[in-house]
Each structure stands twice: as structure tokens, then as C-alpha cells.
Structure 1
Amino acid sequence: MKNVLIFSGTTEGRRLAETLVKNGIFCHVCVATEYGVQVMESSELMQVHMGRLDVDAMKELYADIRPDVVIDATHPFAKIVSENIRESLQNRGIPYVRLERRLDAEEDFGKEEVFADSQAVCQALLARQGNILLTTGSKELHIFCRDERLRKRLIVRVLPGMESLSLCYENGLEGNQIIAMQGPFSEEINTAIYRQYDIRHMVTKESGSIGGMEEKLSAARKMGIRSYVIARPKTDTGNWQIYDEKEILAALEDLLGCRLQADDGLTEENEAEVLSEADKAYGQMHVALVGIGMGAEDYLTCRGKGAILNADYIFGASRIIEPFSAGVEKYPYYLAADIVPKIKELLAEKKRGNIAILFSGDTGFYSGCKKLYEALQNIEGLSVEIIPGISSLVYLASKIPTSWEDAKIISTHGVAEDKWISRLLWIGLHEKKVFFLTSGLEDVRKIGSLFMRYAPQLKIYLGYQLSYAEEDVLCLTPRECLLLEKEGLYVGMLYNDMPQTIYSGAGLSDEWMLRTKVPMTKEEIRHLSVAKLRLTPEAVCYDIGCGSGSISVEMAMLSPGIRVYAIDSVEEAVALTRKNSDRFGLKNVQVVQGMAPEGMENFPEPTHAFIGGSRGNMAAILKNLYAKNPSMRVVINAISLETLSEIMGCLKTWKVTDLDITQVQISKAKTLGDYHMMMGQNPVTIVSFQFTSN
């Protein structure tokens, strides 16, 4: 059997491999990334090798598979790879063929600017204003992201592979700057992207018609967008020949000594002629993501019912799809990982028609619809619509009855217990209404036990088997929730008519804290120190030398998403911090007895740290923090001059930004008979800064 090795990386390379396989030729295909593997059709006559190869690795591959021909179908801009392939083949006697898309000889870029390389484009863009759409892929992102003035203006369109996305984030791009899609794209799609992101400049490589260059340029011309074209590198042909897709089969026939037939599949043009008018409107298949409400058919919308009645295929959890028509193909799948491969399989079998994928409740309310919708966008031949349903939140509110627009929402279903308990307790203590979804009876009992301890006075409304014959709506105390015995579907709402006040910033009074002889950071100093930490809603904070725990409590009270890890070497201080945390119902504070930094070994990576006491280990503590996160924010309180001197010495070791040193002297009035005298407290120096790895 003939054996061909293809270094791929282009659409032409993939097509050639598939054509050779159909002709009975065994193909080894080398691709650089995981995405390159995903787009290849699987076949017993094809073996795909993933990873970038240097010259020595290529030679080892030749010795292993002994190819009859080596085909270089890498991207025209990947000059180094092509040079490595040719170098690795020297004196080996293996025929070499270069497959490369040809550019139209009469290519005229009109008003578009043509540049020799990416650096030249960057220089031109720095002199102009406005958002930039970069369509040149991910390999040269670093060139455009070096200068922050350019990086902040970029919208990049890259392949939807992990390597491309990783390179985007490694180069400092934010999620809202990344479009991960497989091209090429029509003029209409390019126009929509230009408009959506307010694009003023578009950068492309000279990739020819297969790369969708004309569609990009045409859309840009019509919208008055400036285009920048990076010219294809000049090729030194040497003594080897370049072939395009139309020519290469004839060349391979001579080299392999066999007859090769081109792929006779439908072209894009004649396939369009076969489609019906409905197919033209919807594509090969139309997918409806349908929210069916709580379950009973009475609460299914007319639009949703119509989509199900017209479906040729129905997907969903077994209990959801069971009542619907048995005259269609039904698949008991509800995860995107199961549904997407089956739809691709149907498309590969040239199936057409309507698909209904059913979700309980509403498609936008803790539904798998979101993830599946995103996954379906990458499948050609599909049109997708979302049909909302009635959520259990709306239904339960109508049964209580109460409004729901002022309710907070939380789900315990599929969420780690330590996370949902902490969040539900915090919200339940501070909000009047909290709607919650559960995984069943066990969650309801845990919720009852939680609030029986911290807020036994609140009411818990429970909806059981909503919309079904056995439906029941209950109003219980937390204690009564422990007595429930019926298994089934539960949703609920906490009602707290006396919620605790939430402060928008630090604001706890010293009088609210439990006190012993353990030192405590005083109220005003505490408020200022926490403010200088600039905590975010999901911050991970260390409280080093936590003392009474007043700083830990103050930080944890700001948001249920904040996680506080407190440490102190004194047993009494650790016990007091735990009591104060429990006093405020805080499940997001973890307290450890130990000496810093050794005792912090098992703490997760921090985003912020407060140091109230170091026991002479300031240098070691800061070194440990920097090693864990070289860009975290730190606030330190110093009372003695020796501690301040130690801090200043340490700051010479690491690069920091936003350094602020503030000394605070607090005086508070004390009543003496009919008079009030200001009594001064010890001055405190507050040092705040940001570590930087640059």
C-alpha cells in the first residue's frame, strides 16, 4: 500500500488527505495543534500526528513510517516549517511536493495598504485611533500586544482551539477581545462583526480566496474601514515545484505510479441547488432549544409545543422526553458533550429536518441551554433558536403569592456544598427574599438545619413537584424542614422580614465584636486598612496575625464570594476569631493556628493579604506571598518603629507599585462628668502596595 506523509495546517492539506484516503492511499498527517486533529475526518487509512516537529524529529518520523512522498501543505506564512521540512529531506531520496494556494495574478488591493510584515502594520496602527480587528491568527499576537496602546484596542479573531485561546490570554487579552470561530467568513458575517465591535481598522494576511480575504476586504470597503494587508512572504522555489489543489493529483499520480480520482462530492454551488426553500432559510437542520416549564404539558408554551410537534428528532433527559410523541427518534441526552456528537453524526449521514432539545423550566434560568447553544454555533449546516419556558421561580412566586423581581437567586444543584452553604447563609441573613433551587430532599434538610441555628425566625416556602398532580406548596420554619420525608423535586424561597443591614463598605463597630485580652485592630484603623486592600467580590484574602479576627470579619462581610484565610500562632486568638466569624454567620472564613509563613503552606493562591502581626518574620512572610502571587495587593499595619523599619527594608527586595505609607493618629471622645475629653490612641502606620513581576 502506498504511504504519503502530509505536513498539514491548511484547508488544502486537509482536503488532499481526505481525497487520498478515498483513493485507498494511507496518509500520515502532521498537524501542530489539537484543533488541527479535530477538523480531520477519522479513517482507518489516516493517522494524525499532533505537535510541532524540529528537523531531527522529522528525520525520526521518516525512519519510522517510511513515506513514499512527503507533501508540504503548511501555511504560506510558515516559512520556517517549510525550510525545516526541506532540510530534513536532504540526501534521503524521498520525493518532496509543495501544495500551496495560488493568488490571483491580477490581485488588486485598491485602497488597501500592503505591508511586508506585522511590525510594519503595528507602526502604522500606532499613529491612528479606533478599534482594530486582527484576523492574522494567534502566532504573531505577541507582536501586536507588546504595546499597551495597541493591545487595548484589539479585537482578535482566532481558531476555536485551546492553543489559540491560551496565546490570547498569555498576551494579556481580555475575554471580550476574543472571537474564537472557524472561517472562512461571508461578507455578511464580516460586516456584522465590524459593526458589533465598532471596528475602524482590519488587519489580514494575503491569504487568497480560500482564506476569505476578499470577503473581509469587500465588507471593509463598503463600511469605510481601513484595511491592512500583510504580503505573503517571497518564496525561493529552488529546484522544487509548487502545485495548487487542481494540479497536485496529477503530480502525485506520476510519483506514486497509480491513478487518483478527485473527490466527486457536491460543491458548495451545486449543493445549494439541491436545497429546498425551507432548507435555504434554515440550513440542513433547524434546532429549537425548548424550555418546557416545570414538567406538566399545561405549562408548555404554544411556541414550544409547536417546535416539539414538528420535530423529527427529540433530545432531553429521559423523564422530560418520555411524554412526547413516540413517532419520532428520541435520544435521552441532556449534556452538550453527548448531544453535539449525535447531531454531527446526523449531519454526516445527510439527515435533514427539525431537532427539538428539551430543558426543564426556562432556557435562561440555571439551564444547560447556554452551554449547548454556544457549542452549536460551531457546527455548519444548523440554524438554532431558543424558545423560553416558565421557570420554577415565576411559578412558585405565583403560588405563594409574591413578587419575584426583588428576590436573590441561588442554586444548590451541581454546586459544591461548602460554596452554596456559605453563599446561601450570607444572602439569607442579609436579604428579604432568596429563591433557591435544590437537588432534592437532602438539600432542603441541610438548609433547614443551617437557618435553625442562625435565623430560626425566617419562613421557608417550598414548592414540591410543581405542576404535577402531587404538587404541594408549603410554608415552614427551618426546624420543620428537618421533618420532611418525601423525595422529589423541591424549589424554595427564604423570607426574612428582618434582614441584617449590609454595609456598602467596611463599617462594623468595635462594640459588635467579642473581646478578650487578645489585641484587636481598632474600628477606624480597621476600616481604613480594609479600604486600602481594594477587595474584589471573589477575592482570596490572608489575615496574617489575625488576633481577635476583626479584620477577617470585616473582609468576609463585604461579599459572600470573598474567601478569608486567617492565621495566628496564639491559641486564644484563633478561638476568638472563630467565635467572631460564627457570631456573624460567616462560612467564608477559615482559621488556622500556626506561625506564618510556614502555617500558610496549604492556603490557596491569594489575591490580597493583610498583615497585622509578623512575630519578626516580615521578610519571610512577604517572600512567601510574592512566591504565591507576584501581583497581589498587600496592606500592613505597623505600630512600632522597628516594624516600620523592617517593612521598608523588605520593600527594597521586591518591585512594588502603588506604594502608599500613611500614618494615622485617632482620638476618640471620652465622657468625664459633664465634659468630653479627646483621648489619643497609639499612632498606626498603614503601608499598602501592589507586588509586580515586571
Structure 2
Amino acid sequence: MKRIYVIGAGVEGQEGFSRRAMELVEQAELLCGGERQLALFPEFSGEKVAIGSDLTGLSERLKGSSRRTVVLASGDPLFFGIGRHLLRNLSADELEFVPNVSSVQYAFAKIKEPWDDAVFISAHGRGLQGAVDRIVANDKAAVLTDQLNTPAAIAAELIERGRDGYAAWLCENLGTAEEQITATDVKGLLQIKAAPLNVLILIKEYEAGGEEYVPTLGIPDEEFATVKKLITKEEVRVVTLAKLKLRHDMTLWDVGAGSGSVSIEADHLLPNGRIFAVERNPQCREFIKANLRKFSARHVTLVEGDAPACLEALPDPDRVFVGGSGGNLYAILDAVDGRLPAGGRVVINAVTLDTLTAANEYFDNAGYQVEVTTINIARTRPLTDYKMFEAYNPVYIITAVKD
């Protein structure tokens, strides 16, 4: 069977290759790699093919070749490397991987920091927003940046979100004569024009912009900045989250987020998930931003705009909570229905019979399994001579499961 060897090049040049890796290169008839990797073997006697941005062309060439082939990659080919592309386009039986020390592993060794508890993020392809979403969700991150999503751009986004409480190490040109490692903080990154080849390591030191909040269910209403009465009451919030049946890695849409209270409580239930708090009201959005900072929400992204139009750019949801529809309930539910997988759940909090009737009608016609729970809350009034109860309007919690 044809065999293609994918060999990782470490940061130390030829000295970093194992004896077996060197033997495989010597025996190869075709050597593929980036210009920097190919330059490590100036005396190679076979054919050299430089790998550019057109990886599809490379895989097509390898499919049609019967020659003994080595593909050179940086570090570990299966760590944000060419290995993923080759496995998608070639038979796994044809491939053999020979990993080397990755730039991230080398960088952590240089700053003398354990890395088994870090997350690894590539800004290339994910984009600035997605990269920073993952950074703020974790205490230790190694980031592979690109020419657009630079360390300075990442720092600016962290500062904009009020999440700049990280120590930073900018590790540039690792393994070369120009190697430089700069220890700084997030604000310090703004002043540095980084080399194209860099690894950014961020380690949380404190929660910027607020005190550490111990996660609980049923955060008291008065803890949230909000428009008066536009908040899901804490008791209703707890039942709503129970009806959503959240799993740790799900994607949740919170449509009509108001103060963001449901998103913030869900944040602690989705340690590996994502939450999108959708709100059109500018005043409410400012309250959401303040609450996200106060409670150090890690997995919540504020989406500014009118639903359903702004939902198109979001990843497909596993769960959807509708706290407010702005009169567009049918259109929102249509958009949700087109994106929600089978078994997905929609939970709506209704305070009027009109919303209750409209939601039931929609779900019945769409073939969902529907359950309605009525929540009646009465609390004792504080600072009164007699313990009297103050009743709140009933809330209808509509839970719909897609067949």
C-alpha cells in the first residue's frame, strides 16, 4: 500500500528531528512542505514541492502519486496543522504521522508554565470574536494569531469586554536567532507590533471590572442592573432553566434577553457551551453589558439587533429561550424551527394570554410536544409591621420539544 509520511519539524531545525524522521526523508522520492521546512534539506535529491495556500491542489497531487512521499509540517501535524486536511481528503490507511514538539509546547517550556490545563485557540479562520469568546471562557489559553487577528487586536477586544485581567507572554520567532519572549499584560500588548510567527499565552490573574461571583441558581433580582420590571423573576428563572434541560456543551439562544439574567445563570450550566443573548433595546443592552461584567460571564455573547433577522449569523441552537419577542413571535419561531435539531427545546415565558395562545397554536401546527406550567409567586413584603404576601402576575412557561 502507498504510504505518505507526515513529519513534524520542530523549532530547532534538523537537530530536532528523530533518527527515524531523518531516514524517512532520505528515502523519500517526493518531499512536500513550506519554504522554511524544505530549506532544512538543501541536499535532498528527489523532487521538492512547496506547499502554499492551495492545500486542495496538494491533496489531489498526492492522490495521483505512487512515489514514496514525505510531507513536512510545523511541530505536530495534527495540532492546528495540515494533518486535518490530509485526513479529510486521503485515506487514513495511507498516512503515517511523525509528530515533533509544537510551537505551543515549546513556548510553555520557555516561560516555565505547565500547559496540561490550557486551551488552545487558533484565531485563523475562527475570527477575533470567536477566539476571544474562548479566551474569556478559560483561565489559561495559548493563541495562534494571524495577520488580521494580532495580539494587539485580541488585547483591544479583551479590554472592550472588560476582561483584561490576564498576564500575557508574547513568544515570537521561536527557535530562530530572532526569538523573543515578552512578559507583559493585556494593556501592554497594545503597544507591541508582533512578528508574524508568534504564540500568545494568556493566564488569568484576576477578574477585571468586578469581584469574583460564586455561581448559584436563583440570583436575587436586585443583583441585576435592569429596566424596572423587565426581568425574569428569580423563581421563574430557576424553573425556566430546569425546563430547558441544558447539557454542558450546548448552544443556547436567549431571545429578548432583557437584563441577561437567564443567560448569566445558564453560563454556569454550560461550561463547554455557548450562549447568545439577543436584544434590540439599546438601554437593555447597556444593562446586559454591565451584568456580564459584574458576574464575569464567560460563555455569553451579546447580539445586538432585531430577531429574527439577527439570528441568521448565529450557530444553530440546541436550546432556545424566548423572553420577549417584540411582536414578532411567529417570525422568530419560524426562524427557530428552521435551525433547531430534532429533540431540541424551546422555552417561552408568557405573561399574557395572547402570547400563551399564539405560542400554543404555533407549536401545535408545527408538530411539537408542548407542556405549559403556570408559576404563581408571592413574596413577603420586607420592612413591614406584619408579614404580608405581595403577589406577582402569573407566568406561563411553555416548553416545546421538536419531534
Q: How does 1:377-392 map to 2 (within 5 A)?
A: 377=91, 383-392=94-103
**Residue 591, structure 1, aligned to residue 304, structure 2:** yes
Counterpart-to-counterpart distance in 1, 2:225 and 2:186: 27
For the aligned residue pairs, the C-alpha RMSD in angstroms reads 3.4
Matching residue of 1:434: 141
- Cα deviation for residue 620 of structure 1 reads 5.8
Q: How does 1:3-82 map to 2 (within 5 A)?
A: none
Taking a change above 3 Å as real, the CA distance of residues 617 and 369 of structure 1, as seen in their structure-2 partners, is: closer
Matching residue of 1:638: 350
Q: Deviations over 1:286-311 (max 9, x none)?
A: 32110112353333333322322332
Q: Is the 8 A contact 1:552 1:589 kept in 2?
A: no
Q: Is the 8 A contact 1:555 1:564 kept in 2?
A: no
Matching residue of 1:99: none
**Residue 480, structure 1, aligned to residue 188, structure 2:** yes
Counterpart-to-counterpart distance in 2, 1:651 and 1:341: 48
**Residue 450, structure 1, aligned to residue 157, structure 2:** yes
**Residue 491, structure 1, aligned to residue 199, structure 2:** yes
Stretch of structure 1 that moved more, 581-590 or 331-340: 581-590
How many residues are matched?
388
- Cα deviation for residue 666 of structure 1 reads 4.0
**Residue 656, structure 1, aligned to residue 373, structure 2:** no
Segments of structure 1 that go 5 or more residues without pairing to the other structure are: 1-282
Counterpart-to-counterpart distance in 1, 2:331 and 2:94: 59
Q: Is the 8 A contact 1:291 1:363 kept in 2?
A: yes
Larger RCO (alpha carbons 8 Å, 6+ apart)? 2
Q: Which amino acid aligns with 2:49?
A: Y
Matching residue of 1:407: 118
Matching residue of 1:289: 6
What is the SS of the residue equivalent to 1:346? Answer: coil
Taking a change above 3 Å as real, the CA distance of residues 601 and 642 of structure 1, as seen in their structure-2 partners, is: closer
Counterpart-to-counterpart distance in 1, 2:22 and 2:75: 14
Taking a change above 3 Å as real, the CA distance of residues 566 and 372 of structure 1, as seen in their structure-2 partners, is: same
Q: Is the 8 A contact 2:141 2:202 kept in 1?
A: yes
Q: Deviations over 1:25-65 (max 9, x none)?
A: xxxxxxxxxxxxxxxxxxxxxxxxxxxxxxxxxxxxxxxxx
- Cα deviation for residue 623 of structure 1 reads 5.0
Matching residue of 2:46: 328
Aligned equivalent of 1:685, options 380, 396, 401? 396
Q: Deviations over 1:309-332 (max 9, x none)?
A: 332221011122112133221100
Taking a change above 3 Å as real, the CA distance of residues 295 and 687 of structure 1, as seen in their structure-2 partners, is: same
Counterpart-to-counterpart distance in 1, 2:59 and 2:325: 55
Q: Is the 8 A contact 1:318 1:332 kept in 2?
A: yes
Matching residue of 2:33: 316
- Cα deviation for residue 638 of structure 1 reads 2.6
Q: Deviations over 1:153-191 (max 9, x none)?
A: xxxxxxxxxxxxxxxxxxxxxxxxxxxxxxxxxxxxxxx
**Residue 343, structure 1, aligned to residue 56, structure 2:** no
Q: Is the 8 A contact 2:132 2:158 kept in 1?
A: no
- Cα deviation for residue 532 of structure 1 reads 1.8
Q: Is the 8 A contact 1:543 1:552 kept in 2?
A: no
Q: Is the 8 A contact 2:155 2:187 kept in 1?
A: yes
Larger of the two Rg values belongs to structure: 1
Q: How does 1:221-620 map to 2 (within 5 A)?
A: 283=1, 285-294=2-11, 296-326=13-43, 327-333=45-51, 336-347=55-66, 352=67, 354-377=68-91, 383-427=94-138, 431=139, 433-439=140-146, 443-453=150-160, 454-498=162-206, 508-535=219-246, 537-539=249-251, 541-544=253-256, 546-555=257-266, 558=270, 561-564=273-276, 566-568=278-280, 571-581=282-292, 584=296, 588-592=301-305, 594=306, 599-604=307-312, 606-614=317-325, 618=329
Counterpart-to-counterpart distance in 2, 1:685 and 1:479: 47
Q: Deviations over 1:628-666 (max 9, x none)?
A: 658552112133455444544544433212x32222344
Counterpart-to-counterpart distance in 2, 1:681 and 1:485: 57
Percent identity (aligned): 26
Counterpart-to-counterpart distance in 1, 2:104 and 2:121: 11
Q: Is the 8 A contact 2:10 2:102 kept in 1?
A: yes
Q: TM-score, normalised by structure 2?
A: 0.82
Q: Deviations over 1:395-417 (max 9, x none)?
A: 11211101111112211123223
Q: How does 1:613-628 map to 2 (within 5 A)?
A: 613-614=324-325, 618=329, 621-622=332-333, 625-626=336-337
Taking a change above 3 Å as real, the CA distance of residues 518 and 669 of structure 1, as seen in their structure-2 partners, is: closer
- Cα deviation for residue 448 of structure 1 reads 2.1
Counterpart-to-counterpart distance in 1, 2:291 and 2:137: 15
Taking a change above 3 Å as real, the CA distance of residues 374 and 486 of structure 1, as seen in their structure-2 partners, is: closer
What is the SS of the residue equivalent to 1:398? Answer: helix
Q: Is the 8 A contact 2:264 2:300 kept in 1?
A: no
Q: How does 1:62-211 map to 2 (within 5 A)?
A: none
- Cα deviation for residue 668 of structure 1 reads 5.0
Q: Is the 8 A contact 1:513 1:580 kept in 2?
A: yes
Q: Is the 8 A contact 1:639 1:684 kept in 2?
A: yes
- Cα deviation for residue 481 of structure 1 reads 0.9
Q: Deviations over 1:659-688 (max 9, x none)?
A: 322223445566548998776544423120
Q: TM-score, normalised by structure 1?
A: 0.50
What is the SS of the residue equivalent to 2:61? Answer: helix
Q: Is the 8 A contact 2:12 2:175 kept in 1?
A: yes
Q: Which amino acid aligns with 2:58?
A: I
